[in-house]
Every structure is written in structure tokens, then in C-alpha cells.
């Protein structure tokens, strides 16, 4: 006959010596441990409001496995309990696997988080270009990510379960609050779960920033790019070298027509136009070729200047590369 004894534990507590021969300190997550004879337990939701159910098999974790994670046996069981014996798994149980992963984040221990992935996982992380395909590389990613003290919640999710109950997926939108900075980040996610050695693990995890959270760049048309020349030309008409210099970006580079010296800051750019503006130049684009990128654009071609002071006309080749800086397009 099955006998079940439930011990409620809450951190920070030590178990009394009449329960165990030595004191054991538990994590800040409140858990309930059910000691069940002969029955296997489903991998737990680690939410603080839920109970953690473990089987006899869960208690028989090998010492080599525990040494791998470098943590005490109870913590290892908490995050890596065997799945229940039944073939079926519910949507609620699949969603609970996210909570288990989220609570692993809360430990601040990258080894524990990495232990939630299979032995041959694929992690396509939000802030890394490198696919993570083993324990060490997954751990390496979370070494940095956990410094932000992230905690997530699912805003919208869609769960699918295979007919044989051996595979489940959870896809949707989640949101993270970074405890270290207070930043809130929304992203799309996919978790594919499989049972590995009787334990539900993450086989595939893909996380990507929401499109509206991406820097898609300031939109600009080709005609608008050509119009940026007019802003510079109008600044020339003021005959004020400081007004012309303001049309250049903070890290602007000017390779001028009648100077061998590259001008790479506001002072040197201003200095060039002190003399050039004495000619009272006004320009006109004769031929233009425009390229547009993400927060940058380029206009190259042929222009012609009429020098108001002398009436002389000068034709030259030009390249303007513009960047979007401090809310306006500047010459870079």
C-alpha cells in the first residue's frame, strides 16, 4: 500500500536534526517534497506556489551527475526530476517546464540552467550570434546573461504535443525584466521539449527580439537623400563656417577639394570653410547615384560650383555619406 508523507520546506530554513542527520540549507524557492514509494513523478513546475513531486528514481541521482552540476543532491533533483510514467502530458505540464527553466534562471547558477537542456541541444539565443550545441556552450551564454538577473513571463503561447507524448513545443511571446537594470525586453520564443533518460529537457530553444524592438533605421527616399545636399549648400550660402561645420557628424571626415589635410573634427572642418566661403560658393548636382542602408545613406556623383566672388565655375567629383545622428541626417 502506498504511503505518502509531505514535508513543506521554506527558505532560509535548516531541517531539524531528527529529520536528517546533518543540516541542509535550501534555496530561496519554496518547495514541497513528496516522498512517494514506487511511483514516478512528472518534472515539476518550480513556481513558488506549486508543489515539487519526486519519485524514488529521482532520489537515486548518480554522484557523477551531481558532481557535473556542482550542486547538492536536492537541488539537482528539483531541476531534473524524471517524467511521469504515463505516455500523455498535458498543456499545463508543458507550460510548467518554462517555469522550471525560469526558476533555474533565478538561482543565478549557469550550470543549473544548462542542466535543463539535453545533451545535444540547440540554443539560438537572443543576444548571441553563436548557436550553442552542448552543455559548455549553453553554460557560457548564461554566464553573461544571468548577470542581468533576468526573470521571464509568457505573454502569449501556443503549445503542441505529439501523439505519442514524447515531444512537445511551446511557442509565443515572452517578456523579461532585468533585475540588475530594470529594463523590460519582449521577444519571440520557441521551446521544443523531449524526454531524455526519462526527464523532460529543452532540445531546441530559439529566442529573438520583437521586430518593433529592432533598430530598423530611419526611413529615407532617394530624393530626400539628394535633398540633404541642399541643406549643406544652404549652409554655404550663410557664409558662416560654423553653420557649415554643424552639417557634419561628430565623427565626420572631410577630404576637401583644395586642401591636402583630412578634417576629422568640428574645429578643423570649420577652419577649412573659413577660407573656402570667401569664394562665395554655390553648388549644383549634375549627376547623382544614391545608396540607402540602415541609418546611413550615400550620394556620389558630379557637382559644379559657381564662385560668386569671381564668377568662376568649378566641376568636381563628390561623395557624401550620411548617418542619422541625434535625430537628423549628418555628413559622415
Contact 54, 83 (CB under 8 A): no
Q: Count the helices and strands in the chain (H runs, E runs).
A: 9, 12
**pLDDT (tens digit, 9 = 90+) per residue, 90-130?**
999 999 999 999 999 999 999 999 999 999 999 999 888 89
- Give residue 78's pLDDT band: very low, low, confident or very high (50, 70, 90): low
Say if residue 2's pLDDT is above 50: no
pLDDT of residue 156: 95
CA 110 remoteness from chain centre: 17
Alpha carbon distances (Å) from 237 to 190, 240, 278:
57, 8, 11
CB atoms under 10 Å from CB of 36, counted, come to 19
The alpha carbon torsion through 110, 42, 118, 154 (nearest 10 deg) reads -60
Residue 323 is placed in which grid cell? Answer: 548617418
Residues 6+ apart with CB under 8 A from 67: none
Q: Which of 50, 39, 122, 29 is nearest to 93 (CA)?
A: 50
Amino acid at each position: 500500500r502506498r504511503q505518502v508523507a509531505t514535508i513543506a520546506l521554506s527558505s532560509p530554513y535548516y531541517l531539524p536534526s531528527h529529520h536528517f542527520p546533518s543540516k541542509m540549507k535550501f534555496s530561496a524557492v519554496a518547495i514541497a517534497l513528496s516522498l512517494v514509494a514506487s511511483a514516478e513523478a512528472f518534472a515539476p513546475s518550480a513556481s513558488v506556489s506549486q508543489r515539487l513531486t519526486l519519485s524514488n528514481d529521482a532520489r537515486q541521482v548518480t554522484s557523477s551527475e551531481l558532481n557535473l552540476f556542482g550542486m547538492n543532491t536536492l537541488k539537482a533533483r528539483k531541476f531534473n526530476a524524471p517524467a511521469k510514467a504515463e505516455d500523455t502530458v498535458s498543456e499545463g505540464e508543458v507550460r510548467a517546464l518554462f517555469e522550471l527553466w525560469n526558476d533555474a534562471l533565478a538561482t543565478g547558477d549557469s550550470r543549473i540552467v544548462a542542466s535543463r537542456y539535453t545533451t545535444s541541444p540547440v540554443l539560438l539565443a537572443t543576444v548571441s550570434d553563436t548557436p550553442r550545441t552542448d552543455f559548455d556552450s549553453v553554460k557560457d551564454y548564461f554566464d553573461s546573461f544571468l548577470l542581468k538577473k533576468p526573470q521571464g513571463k509568457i505573454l502569449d503561447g501556443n503549445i503542441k504535443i505529439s501523439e505519442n507524448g514524447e515531444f512537445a513545443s511551446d511557442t509565443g511571446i515572452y517578456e523579461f525584466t532585468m533585475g540588475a537594470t530594470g529594463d523590460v525586453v519582449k521577444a519571440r520564443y520557441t521551446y521544443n521539449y523531449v524526454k531524455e533518460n526519462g526527464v523532460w529537457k529543452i532540445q531546441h530553444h530559439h529566442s529573438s527580439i520583437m521586430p518593433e524592438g529592432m533598430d530598423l533605421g530611419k526611413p529615407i527616399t532617394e530624393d530626400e537623400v539628394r535633398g540633404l545636399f541642399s541643406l549643406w549648400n544652404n549652409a554655404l550660402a550663410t557664409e558662416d563656417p560654423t553653420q557649415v561645420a554643424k552639417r557634419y557628424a561628430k565623427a565626420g571626415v572631410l577630404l576637401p577639394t583644395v586642401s591636402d589635410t583630412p578634417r576629422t573634427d568640428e574645429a578643423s572642418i570649420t577652419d577649412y570653410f573659413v577660407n573656402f566661403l570667401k569664394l562665395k560658393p554655390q553648388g549644383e548636382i549634375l549627376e547623382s547615384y544614391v545608396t540607402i542602408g540602415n541609418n546611413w545613406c550615400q550620394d556620389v556623383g558630379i557637382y559644379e560650383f559657381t564662385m560668386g566672388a569671381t564668377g568662376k565655375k568649378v566641376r568636381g567629383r563628390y561623395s557624401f555619406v550620411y548617418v542619422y545622428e541625434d535625430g537628423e541626417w549628418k555628413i559622415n
